[in-house]
Amino acid sequence: MPSWIQQAARRGILTSEYPGRPAREPDEVPLTARAPAFPGPGPIGSAAFAACPVEAISPAGVDPGRCIRCARCTTAGFRFAGPVEAAFRPRAGAPPAPLAGLGRSLHVFLVDAGSCNACNLEVLALANPLYDASRLGIFFTNSPRHADVLVVVGVPTEPMVAPLTAAYEAMPAPKAVVGVGVCPISGGVFRGNTGLRSSLDGIVPVDLYVPGCPPAPIQILDALLTIGGRARREG
Ligand code: SF4
Ligand code: SF4
């Protein structure tokens, strides 16, 4: 019997039942794991536009690819009410879908392209006994040559563009790319600074984005399961 199973049995660690059951609140789904939304009725007030530090609010609602979950808009009536399983494909209108040809076991290569370390830690939390992604056939690998999924955290800095491209090209097909956090989606709080790309798009072909700053580990797990065609999705 592998030692980590023996350790879990000895310590009595309660592993998450996700995705067999919905994620537990609030320990697995903190308040800001959900995106903010304006409950209405009536139009979004100008106070909300002024409160948002990253211009994530428009008359159409909140852009999840920009929202850093700072909660300032709650003073203007917004409530954290969006779905937990909120990963989206970069092409507008395309629903999350499994990548054809990938098996039920995924090997993940993590690249930090310029993070503040928070998204990095949330991804690595999937290996701890609470989330235990290995029970679902998800493993981390130190080589892109052994990887099915490239997970990228952080805003892409110019010095990381070539290593990102090289890592993607070294991966055998079929392969997928998942961007975690708003940094690889839109630049997050670093948007507009010199020496940065505003998005992972255009560097490697992204299959799924996981919004949040940082997303909860359950949300990253949902994205990886989605890539493998095994996700639980709200609604
Ligand atoms: S939580 Fe912060 S970043 Fe997100 S929409 Fe509200 S004010 Fe903007
Ligand atoms: S998305 Fe937020 S938490 Fe993640 S690396 Fe960027 S700033 Fe840090």
Tell me which fold the domain 106-227 belongs to: Rossmann fold (3.40.50)
**Counting atoms of ligand 1 from 1, which one is nearest the CA of 78?**
6
Query: Is the preceding peptide bond at 26 cis, omega within 30 degrees of 0?
Result: yes
Pocket residue to mutate for ligand 1, from 55, 63, 67, 80, most atoms within 8 A of Cβ: 67
Q: Report residue 194 as tokens.
A: 């010199």
Q: What is the pTM of this model?
A: 0.91
Place of tokens 């939304």: 37
**DSSP assigned state of 3:** H
Burial of 167-179, coded b for 16+ CB within 10 Å and e otherwise, reads bbeebeeebbbbb
Centre of ligand 2 from the C-alpha of residue 145, in Å: 27
The pick from 121, 182, 197 for probing ligand 2's pocket by mutation, whose C-beta has the most ligand atoms within 8 angstroms, reads 182
Burial class (CB in 10 A: 0-12, 13-18, 19+), 9: exposed
Give pLDDT, residue 6: 75
Residue nearest to atom 2 of ligand 1 (CA): 70
Ligand 2, CB within 6 Å, residue ranges: 115-116, 118-119, 153-154, 181-183, 188-189, 213-214
Q: Which atom of ligand 1 has the smallest separation from the CA of 66?
A: 3
Q: Which ligand is nearest to the CA of 58?
A: 1
Q: In Å, how far are 135, 176, 215 from 118, measured between CA atoms? A: 24, 22, 9
pLDDT at 43: 82
Q: How far is CA 121 from CA 10, 21, 112, 215, in A?
A: 26, 24, 11, 10
Write out the residue limits of the CATH 3.40.50.12280 domain(s) in the chain. 106-227
Q: What is the pLDDT of residues 151-201, one digit of tens each?
A: 999 999 999 999 999 999 999 988 999 999 999 999 999 998 999 998 999
Predicted confidence band of residue 39 (pLDDT cuts 50, 70, 90)? confident
Q: Is the pLDDT of residue 93 over 60?
A: no
State the CB neighbour count (10 A cutoff) for residue 198: 17
111-138 mean pLDDT: 95
138 CB near ligand 1 (under 6 Å): no
CA distance 149 to 168: 9
Tell me the DSSP string of 100-136. TT--S-EEEEEEEEE--SHHHHHHHGGGSTTT-GGGG
Does the C-beta of 62 come closer than 6 Å to ligand 1?
Answer: yes
Query: Closest ligand 2 atom to the C-alpha of 119?
Result: 4
Q: Please report which residue ranges of the chain form alpha helices under DSSP H.
A: 3-11, 46-51, 118-124, 158-170, 182-186, 217-227
Is 71's C-beta closer than 6 angstroms to any atom of ligand 1?
A: yes
Q: Ligand 1 center to residue 78 CA distance, Å?
A: 9
Query: Quick one: residue 193, left, alpha or beta (phi over 0 = left, psi -120 to 50 = alpha)?
Result: beta
Q: Which of 64-73, 80-89, 134-143 has the lowest mean pLDDT?
A: 80-89
Q: How far is CA 235 from the centre of its chain?
A: 19
